[in-house]
Amino acid sequence: MSRPVFGVAFFLHLCVSVFFIVLGLEGFLYVWGIVGRSDVAMIAAKLTGIFGGDSAVYIILISILEAACGAAMIFSLFSTVNSGFLRISVLVSMVLWLTVIILKDIFGASVFSDFSIGVLTQWLRGLILDIVLLLAILSVRVKG
């Protein structure tokens, strides 16, 4: 019995890849004023508070990294990609998403200052979704 080529792992890999491409696009759309809200803007504001500088530069850098990592991961599904390059893309994606979890879900959480059951459940939902995405990033298979 042969195994299906397009299994769950394939579609999870595809979804993570497209998600990062969309995140990168969303960051550029935010900088250009086309979308009014973006999580990357909040992350950039936190980074600006920590390191200084212009938040637009952080948004652009993060968006480029997100889109490039997503493109490398999606490209690896349909053609041969240097396994070292893909490993670096997955590693960068993991670091980016860990940064999101730390800055948005931990340091940016209002659950600690404005506690209510509604705020708690919203915070837990966001944290759990971000952890699920981190696990999906870890599931991206590097061939070779």
24-68 tens-digit pLDDT = 999 999 999 998 878 888 899 989 999 999 999 999 999 999 999
* Within a domain: 2: no
Residue 41 in contact with residue 22, Cβ under 8 Å? Answer: no
pLDDT of residue 64: 96
CB 76 within 8 A of CB 56: no
CB pairs under 8 A, 24+ apart, for 115-121? none
Domain count along the chain: 1
The answer to the question of residue 99 being in a domain is yes
Between helix 83-100 and helix 117-138 the angle, nearest 10°, is 170
Give domain status of residue 40, yes or no: yes
Domain encompassing residue 121:
8-138
Give yes or no for a contact between 55 and 47, defined as CB atoms under 8 angstroms apart.
yes
Best CA proximity match to 82, nearest among 73, 91, 94, 93: 73
Of 12-21, 37-46, 54-63, 103-112, give the lowest mean pLDDT range.
103-112
Q: What is the pTM of this model?
A: 0.84
Q: Could you tell me if residue 91 is inside a domain?
A: yes
Longest alpha-carbon distance in the chain? 58
Q: At a CB cut-off of 8 Å and minimum separation 6, what does 19 contact?
A: 70, 133
Structural contact between residues 12 and 141, judged by C-beta atoms closer than 8 angstroms = no
Residue 20 in domain? yes
Residue 74 is assigned to a structural domain of this protein: yes
Per DSSP, helices labelled H in 32-105 are 39-51, 55-78, 83-100
Decide if 1 is inside a domain: no
What integer pLDDT is reported at residue 2 of this predicted model? 45
Residue 83, in any domain of the structure: yes
